[in-house]
């Protein structure tokens, strides 16, 4: 098997996003103009499957008030991968970033994660 290239992984992830892989509460607002919106949790889990590393969770603040959380991946010291960072508008500031252990099973967003995982694996030619 050939090694995975990050450009190929990113392409497969972006091609896999849709309203059915984002947070259910955001589905009515999902748009192909902002496809990364509310895809961060499932995207971070899929990247963790493929690349390992750590799951990182930060807080999203608007006017100093936490409005949400944001997830991304850390592959090593100083090497963070965040494929969904562009989802935020200019007033949304991501702060912090703590390592969150991967849960042994997923309760929240399990169906969305499995759908994105399968699309990405298919896009990369993985069984």
- What is the per-residue pLDDT across 13-52, written as a single tens digit (0 to 9) for each? 999 999 999 999 999 999 999 999 999 999 999 999 999 9
Helices 110-123 and 6-16: crossing angle, nearest 10°? Answer: 130
Tokens 């390992």 map to which residue?
52
Helices (H), 1-127: 6-16, 40-51, 110-123
- Of 15, 30, 35, 31, nearest to 86 by C-alpha is 35
pTM of the predicted model as reported, rounded to 2 decimal places: 0.94
- What is the per-residue pLDDT across 45-56, written as a single tens digit (0 to 9) for each? 999 999 999 999
Domain boundaries, the chain: 6-123
């Amino acid at each position: 098997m050939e090694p995975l290239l990050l450009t190929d992984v990113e392409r497969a992830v972006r091609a896999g996003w849709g309203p059915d892989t984002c947070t259910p509460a955001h589905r009515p607002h999902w748009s192909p103009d902002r496809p990364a919106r509310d895809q961060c949790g499932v995207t971070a889990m899929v990247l963790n499957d493929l690349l390992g590393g750590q799951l990182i969770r930060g807080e999203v603040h608007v006017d100093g008030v936490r409005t949400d959380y944001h997830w991304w991946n850390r592959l090593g010291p100083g090497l963070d991968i965040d494929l969904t960072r562009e989802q935020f508008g200019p007033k949304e500031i991501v702060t912090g970033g703590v390592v969150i252990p991967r849960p042994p099973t997923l309760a929240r967003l399990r169906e969305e994660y499995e759908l994105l995982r399968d699309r990405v694996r298919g896009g990369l030619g993985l069984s």
